[in-house]
Amino acid sequence: MKRLIVTIVAALVALTSFSRDLDVKRLAGDICHVRISADNDSKYLLLPIEESAKEAEVEVIVNNNRVRTLWIRLALSHIDYYAPFALDEFQGEEVLLQMHVPSVPITLSNRGWVGSDLCVNNLRLSDKLDFSSETSERPEYHHTPEYGWMNDPNGMFYKDGEWHLYYQWGPYGLVWNNMTWGHSVSKDLIHWEHRQPAIQADALGAVFSGSCVVDHKNACGFGKDAVIAMYTMDGAVQSQNIAYSTDGGNTFTKYACNPVLVADIPDFRDPNVFWNEETGKWNLILACGQQMRFYSSADMKEWKEESKFGKLYGAHGGVWECPDIFPLPTPDGKSEKWVLLCNINPGGPMGGSATQYFIGDFDGHMFTLDDPDRYTGGKALWMDYGKDHYATVSFYDAPDNRRTVIAWMSNWEYADKVPAIDYRSSNSIARDLFLYEGGQGELYLGSRPAKEYDNAGLDKKFTVKGSTVWTLSNNEKEKVVITYDQKNMKLSVDRTESGMVNFKHTFPAVTIAPVHKKLTSLRIFVDSNSVEVFGNDGEVVLTNIIFPSAPLTTIKANQNEKK
């Protein structure tokens, strides 16, 4: 590991050089001024990072205005890697970074603290990012950020043949912080192109999760078909804000009279908005502590609280986050039921983060459960029984009335500990949702691989005729074992010997899903860092990440029809 880090450092340093465009001045104590001239045309300032260092305050000052404050683990005693601070946003402007560089105590006679030289002396301008030190292949068809930390998918929508995926992005290192909305776009849900970050943090705080709508009727006055994002600003309090885009979601202008909703409790976030054709209004579902709140609005600026949901129902082992709500056709295709997605952390069935769901009706004002007994006394329905399926939300306006979702493939139990170089974490494949009936005619939510993957040759398909064990392996004796136990109606995924597992004790797990209808088929998607298993094309799903030293390319099925 150490050798690798040194290689990365060397490679990055080789790509860079000191330049007249960079002026670094030590002021008193731990304050350092880093000035990048308006003439600079380098793309990045590379910041030396030590992952276990304390976060240092870095103020970004442009034209004498503080545009945002960042918290960065600037190196104190050694450099783990360099994090790029992108400069293209400030082209033609002088940028001043006022840094509180990490401090070391100095001798008694000096009486005090002084900023470390290591960080100050190793700041560099660069035009290129060098990913050559990555030890394993990037996932072939899973979305990853170009670099830095990623969590929740945000504001996804489909427009003009393109799937837009924004995501919680922390560009300055491999651990959570300084959240902005990164942006990627795909035409096929397989290949993703990275675009400029869409909504940047500002002097009032960081940009947390949220959603996007396409305003077909120009109800909000930002223009017909404007893309409008609603997101949480995490500053002095958590508040809901809007921003609009008239170029199809590439650049956003923040609404001048933000915020549009302010918090009355500490956890107040992750707005999910949709147009309700029946009431002719926008509806909003918002996670508030361990409940959801519903609101309505004609213009997304003035919101009326309609109702609350959830106090007595479902799992409450953690905070409720990242909600979504939408109608889906019933299995007979004759009517619709509303499904409410509620991501919860911790408190998931396999420990840590997970997505629970509720089935009922929504009339623009209130959500009413179909069968409240299914959710009382701590009972809950879960979308996915793997350990790495969180912050699941759907694309707005997906084509052909599909309800297509993506989940973040990680778990807050260990998200900042998983092996990573350059970037940390990936998103699940997209899934199309549907309702199906279990053995007693009760409804469940299923999630089948999006139809874009049907003929892409990415998965292995199996017909299932009874209890079966599938072993995915490589030449390094690393493996993932999938077991269908028909007698006990369980499908499980064992990753305890899947490669690197010891970075956190909760990682080497066997995840187990209940099976509501006998399995007749199984699809397995294996990419370099994940195994996604779909029984009966999405009736039962397990999503788990893995860190093998070589891809698990061999799959053997061992069917035992007697069981």
Binding site for ligand FRU (CB under 6 A): 151-152, 168, 179, 208-209, 232, 269-270, 321-322, 391
At closest approach, how far in Å is the CB of 409 from ligand FRU?
A: 12
Listed residue (472, 464, 459) closest to 556, CA to CA = 472
At closest approach, how far in Å is the CB of 210 from ligand FRU?
A: 8
User: Closest CB to ligand FRU among 269 and 281?
Assistant: 269
Catalytic residue among 30, 152, 324, 527: 152
What region does 108 belong to: left with phi over 0, alpha with psi -120 to 50, or beta?
A: alpha
Amino acid in position 417: K
Residue pair 421/134 in contact (Cβ under 8 Å)? The answer is: yes
Strand partners, 319: 345
User: Closest CB to ligand FRU among 321 and 494?
Assistant: 321
At closest approach, how far in Å is the CB of 321 from ligand FRU?
A: 4
Strand partners, 340: 325, 358
At closest approach, how far in Å is the CB of 536 from ligand FRU?
A: 29
**To which H or E segment does residue 12 belong?**
helix 2-14
Strand partners, 461: 523
Listed residue (449, 445, 207) closest to 342, CA to CA = 445
- CA 197-61-196 angle, to 5 degrees, is 10
Residue pair 165/159 in contact (Cβ under 8 Å)? The answer is: no
Residue pair 286/297 in contact (Cβ under 8 Å)? The answer is: no
At closest approach, how far in Å is the CB of 161 from ligand FRU?
A: 29
Residues 421, 136: Cα–Cα separation, whole Å: 9
User: Closest CB to ligand FRU among 205 and 449?
Assistant: 205
Which backbone phi and psi does 372 adopt, to 5 degrees? -55, -30
User: Closest CB to ligand FRU among 168 and 283?
Assistant: 168
User: Closest CB to ligand FRU among 44 and 208?
Assistant: 208
User: Closest CB to ligand FRU among 233 and 546?
Assistant: 233
Radius of gyration of the chain (CA): 24
- Torsion on CA atoms 131, 132, 133, 135, rounded to nearest 10: 100
At closest approach, how far in Å is the CB of 322 from ligand FRU?
A: 6
CA distances from 495 to 182, 291, 354, 382 (A): 30, 33, 18, 20
At closest approach, how far in Å is the CB of 345 from ligand FRU?
A: 6
At closest approach, how far in Å is the CB of 209 from ligand FRU?
A: 3
Residue pair 542/483 in contact (Cβ under 8 Å)? The answer is: no
152 catalytic residue (yes or no): yes
Contacts of 401 (CB under 8 A, 6+ apart): none
Strands 423-424 and 148-159: parallel
User: Closest CB to ligand FRU among 270 and 306?
Assistant: 270
Residues 382, 446: Cα–Cα separation, whole Å: 10
CA distances from 371 to 169, 291, 444 (A): 38, 18, 12
At closest approach, how far in Å is the CB of 315 from ligand FRU?
A: 16
User: Closest CB to ligand FRU among 158 and 268?
Assistant: 268
Residue pair 240/230 in contact (Cβ under 8 Å)? The answer is: yes
User: Closest CB to ligand FRU among 211 and 536?
Assistant: 211
Neighbours of 256 (CB within 10 A): 5
Catalytic residues: 152
